[in-house]
């Protein structure tokens, strides 16, 4: 499926591995946690993202990805890209994000938001370093330091970092592939004070064969603590990697366990 931009029917996929369509569908979903149709759609969206990032026009990107019509893509473009296709093509050039950096118990936290909600929560030592990290994530967005009206949202995020077991209702603008969103939703269901292994998380999304992909989705998380990827450990219970450093991961877990 990754090697062609031509849609492949379920029957053709099943025939390629000498299986019935029903049996192939069941085994595919058991291994990856999504249906072949959903997986194919995610691949198409990834191809569109890649083509747009290379500078292709929206029409060229859709054609390259194998879409038969633009309407089918535009109907779900916001979820697939996190913004309109033309904005994505420009690297988010027309998107405006506000951000604030505040001290917290783990150093500093940068909170960035779009009109939809908080789209990035980054942890670090210096405000300047965090600002550079934000720019790298949204290279052409218009970034503006938030005014006093954003203070309540930023304070809620700081409270969540300082007390990760708390239940702060923060509006989030979650951006990722369909698979990443499944993983992140499963992460948000892990109770504070508990942990899961990557294999347990994969099983939770009904994708036991996708442990590496699950780990990759955790590593791609841009919303520290709000999407609690710190609650995932290696199978033996030891700390695994953490985007913002293992010391912060340990500190968050210790806070939650009291």
Any idea what the CATH number is for the domain that residue 32 is in? 1.10.10.60
Final residue before a domain boundary, out of 136, 162, 188: 162
Enumerate the active-site residues: 229
Is residue 169 included in any domain, yes or no? Answer: no
Of all residues in the chain, what percent are helix, strand and coil, respectively (each to 5)? 50, 15, 40
- This prediction's pTM: 0.72
One domain for residues 77 and 142 = no
pLDDT reported for residue 13: 74
Is residue 5 included in any domain, yes or no? Answer: no
pLDDT reported for residue 2: 45
Range(s) of the domain holding residue 158 = 96-162
Q: Is the pLDDT of residue 119 over 70?
A: yes
- What average pLDDT does the segment 159-185 reach? 87
pLDDT reported for residue 86: 57
Could you tell me whether strands 142-145 and 232-233 are parallel, antiparallel, or unpaired per DSSP bridges? unpaired
Is residue 115 included in any domain, yes or no? Answer: yes
Q: Is the pLDDT of residue 182 over 70?
A: yes
The domain total for the chain is: 3
Is residue 32 included in any domain, yes or no? Answer: yes
- What average pLDDT does the segment 229-236 reach? 94
The answer to whether the beta carbons of residues 244 and 133 sit under 8 Å apart is no
Q: Which two tokens stand for residue 78?
A: 């916001």
Q: Residue 20: pLDDT band by 50, 70, 90 thresholds?
A: confident
Is residue 222 included in any domain, yes or no? Answer: yes
User: Taking all residues of the chain, what is their mean pLDDT, rounded to a whole number?
Assistant: 82
Any idea what the CATH number is for the domain that residue 185 is in? 1.10.10.10
Q: Is the pLDDT of residue 250 over 80?
A: yes
Is residue 148 included in any domain, yes or no? Answer: yes
One domain for residues 17 and 70 = yes
Q: Residue 19: pLDDT band by 50, 70, 90 thresholds?
A: confident
Final residue before a domain boundary, out of 71, 89, 107: 89
pLDDT reported for residue 68: 56
Any idea what the CATH number is for the domain that residue 115 is in? 3.30.160.70
- What average pLDDT does the segment 171-177 reach? 89
pLDDT digits (tens, 9 = 90+) for 61-94: 665 666 655 555 555 555 555 555 555 555 555 6
Is residue 133 included in any domain, yes or no? Answer: yes
E strand intervals along 15-134: 96-104, 107-113, 118-124
Final residue before a domain boundary, out of 129, 162, 195: 162
Is residue 230 included in any domain, yes or no? Answer: yes
pLDDT reported for residue 184: 96
One domain for residues 105 and 54 = no
One domain for residues 84 and 155 = no
């Amino acid at each position: 499926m990754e090697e062609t931009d031509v849609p492949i029917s379920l029957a053709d996929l099943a025939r390629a591995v000498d299986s019935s369509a029903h049996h192939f569908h069941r085994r595919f979903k058991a291994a990856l946690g999504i249906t072949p149709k959903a997986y194919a759609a995610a691949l198409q969206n990834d191809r569109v993202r890649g083509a747009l990032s290379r500078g292709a026009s929206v029409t060229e990107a859709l054609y390259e990805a194998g879409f038969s019509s633009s309407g089918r893509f535009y109907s779900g473009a916001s979820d697939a890209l996190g913004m309109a296709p033309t904005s994505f093509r420009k690297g988010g050039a027309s998107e405006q994000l506000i951000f604030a950096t505040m001290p917290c118990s783990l150093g500093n936290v940068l909170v960035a938001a779009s009109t939809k909600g908080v789209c990035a929560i980054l942890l670090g030592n210096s405000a300047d370093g965090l600002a550079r990290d934000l720019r790298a994530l949204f290279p052409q967005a218009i970034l503006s330091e938030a005014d006093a009206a954003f203070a309540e949202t930023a304070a809620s995020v700081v409270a969540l970092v300082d007390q990760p077991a708390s239940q702060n209702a923060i509006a989030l603008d979650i951006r990722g592939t369909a698979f990443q969103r499944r993983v992140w939703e499963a992460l948000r269901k892990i109770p504070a004070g508990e942990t899961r292994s990557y294999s347990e998380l994969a099983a939770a999304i009904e994708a036991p064969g996708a442990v590496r992909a699950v780990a990759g989705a955790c590593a791609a998380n841009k919303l520290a603590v709000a999407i609690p990827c710190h609650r995932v450990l290696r199978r033996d219970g030891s700390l695994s990697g953490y985007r913002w450093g293992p010391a912060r991961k340990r500190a968050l877990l210790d806070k939650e366990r009291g």
